[in-house]
A and B are shown apart, each in its own frame.
Chain A
């Protein structure tokens, strides 16, 4: 779950990381800055790169604040209309830095990325001037003590008083990362002001959804659906699917986007689900939904998801398509699919347009499908071919 900037900054403040003076205003409120002088208006939407897309506005004169805030509230930025604005004092900056902590899934340890240049696109910088970036792992057990954080910062050529201050901020950010179960904790930029203060100008904090139960305060924020006006409101069908996914922590089965076709899709595998979705459409199929399953979801979740998709009016068939899986068991998915279809009062043999999940425990999975007369295929049939079969099967149904 991505926190909005002001929510993330309130957490930084709690951990002693300085943030600019500011106030959050909602659309119906009259914006009043709690300081005098130029202000920065920042749209509170859950995306990066707001500066480039008109989500950040500088207001030099107090009297312009109301008008500029109203204009920003009325602007749709990459599909989002801000419900809140953060009004902050505009600071006199001397230098900017970048710091981020995320989880390196290959090394299986948290990793710090620090750059002596902030406010930039870090990927571009890594290509052009890699010497300005230092990356280093640390462990959850030891955390990131200040002396180690200083070493990382010093690697990029930062010296003197800023080195001490930045090291301290970086160590605190590591504590935020660990203690809030974040998947990303980023300050970009961390500014050094003309008066020598270090201040976090922007912050991106992503919290692991599966750890929200350990943070009731953040979970309460997540529950507040009114905080973000999304590009497309979640439908009741999608909300119910998300509830299914939250039943247990095992795997994913319930990230659904609703469409108005007649072919239910139970697809997965990261990019493979997009490939399968596009392939179904390319072959003339009309998906009733997009969805993602993966990570070995429980049989119960697959069962409930299957039944849920079949409950959508007009959905006669489901296509079950994944890439070759190693971290999801084919037999467990097959059990869930068959159970869900039977629970919906349908016949698995008639209802599954195609089942194409090759991989772990496929021999067992195929036995189950054979027993219920379900059409399945192995890895010799491509995702594209499986999608064609599904589209054809659903087409016959609606013809």
Chain B
């Protein structure tokens, strides 16, 4: 199993095709307790420096019924 040279453990992927309602996007970007999402010009982006703070709480997944977010563990 390959290890990341700087130790990256979690990757968050956004698939905007699955969620285009601006209200819903606003809801799930704001719900993360460790600040993993932010809106740039109305578009959701992942704050890379916070990705490894993800606690797998699932709040973003719950807030996005369309399933635009995928959380990938890099250590399994």
The answer on a CB contact under 8 Å between A368 and B55 is no
Main SS of the interface on chain B? loop
Question: At the interface with chain A, which of B2-10, B20-28, B59-67?
Answer: B2-10
Known: A335-B9, A367-B75. A372 touches B52 (CB 8 A): no
CA distance A368 to B74 in the complex (A): 9
Cβ < 8 Å to B, chain A residues 157-216:
none
Chain A, Cβ-Cβ closest to B53? A299
Contact size range, A: 10 to 19
The answer on a CB contact under 8 Å between B55 and A335 is no
Q: B34: shortest Cβ distance to chain A, in Å?
A: 8
Q: B74: shortest Cβ distance to chain A, in Å?
A: 9
Known: A299-B53, A300-B53, A339-B52. A367 touches B76 (CB 8 A): yes
The answer on a CB contact under 8 Å between B1 and A371 is yes
Chain B, Cβ-Cβ closest to A365? B75
CA distance A329 to B9 in the complex (A): 15
Q: How many interface residues does B have (CB within 8 Å)?
A: 13
Q: A193: shortest Cβ distance to chain B, in Å?
A: 53
The answer on a CB contact under 8 Å between B53 and A329 is no
| Residues of A with C-beta under 8 A to B76 | 367
Main SS of the interface on chain A? helix
* Interface check A342, CB cutoff 8 A: yes
CA distance A298 to B49 in the complex (A): 12
CA distance A367 to B10 in the complex (A): 13
CA distance A330 to B37 in the complex (A): 24
CA distance A300 to B35 in the complex (A): 13
Chain A, Cβ-Cβ closest to B6? A342
Contact of B52 among A335, A341, A367, A371 (CB under 8 A): A335
Contact of B7 among A298, A332, A338 (CB under 8 A): A338
Among the interface residues B1, B3, B49, which one has the most CB atoms of the partner chain A within 10 A? B3
Cβ < 8 Å to B, chain A residues 284-302:
298-300
CA distance A367 to B1 in the complex (A): 12
* Interface check A343, CB cutoff 8 A: yes
The answer on a CB contact under 8 Å between A343 and B6 is yes
Q: B30: shortest Cβ distance to chain A, in Å?
A: 18
| Residues of A with C-beta under 8 A to B6 | 339, 342-343
Indicate with 1 or 0, residue by residue over A308-340, a CB within 8 angstroms of chain B CB atoms: 000000000000000000000100100100110
| Residues of B with C-beta under 8 A to A372 | 3, 7
The answer on a CB contact under 8 Å between A332 and B3 is no
Cβ < 8 Å to B, chain A residues 339-353:
339, 341-343, 348
Chain A, Cβ-Cβ closest to B51? A299
The answer on a CB contact under 8 Å between A371 and B5 is no
CA distance A348 to B3 in the complex (A): 11
| Residues of A with C-beta under 8 A to B3 | 371-372
CA distance A329 to B34 in the complex (A): 14
CA distance A335 to B10 in the complex (A): 10
The answer on a CB contact under 8 Å between B75 and A371 is yes
CA distance A339 to B3 in the complex (A): 11
CA distance A266 to B6 in the complex (A): 20
Among the interface residues B3, B9, B49, B55, which one has the most CB atoms of the partner chain A within 10 A? B9
The answer on a CB contact under 8 Å between A339 and B7 is yes
The answer on a CB contact under 8 Å between A329 and B7 is no
| Residues of B with C-beta under 8 A to A300 | 49, 53
CA distance A341 to B76 in the complex (A): 20
Contact of B55 among A329, A342, A343, A367 (CB under 8 A): A329
CA distance A299 to B6 in the complex (A): 13
Indicate with 1 or 0, residue by residue over B41-76, a CB within 8 angstroms of chain A CB atoms: 000000001001101000000000000000000011
Q: A285: shortest Cβ distance to chain B, in Å?
A: 26
| Residues of B with C-beta under 8 A to A339 | 6-7, 52
Known: A338-B7, A343-B6, A371-B1. A332 touches B75 (CB 8 A): no
B residues with CB within 8 A of A: 1, 3, 5-7, 9, 34, 49, 52-53, 55, 75-76
**Pairs across A and B, CB under 8 Å, 11 listed:** A298-B53, A299-B53, A335-B7, A335-B52, A339-B7, A342-B5, A348-B7, A367-B76, A371-B3, A371-B75, A372-B7
Told that A342-B5, A367-B76, A372-B7 touch, could you supply 17 new A-B pairs with CB distance under 8 A?
A298-B34, A298-B53, A299-B52, A300-B49, A329-B55, A332-B55, A335-B7, A339-B6, A339-B7, A339-B52, A342-B7, A343-B6, A348-B7, A367-B75, A368-B9, A371-B1, A372-B3
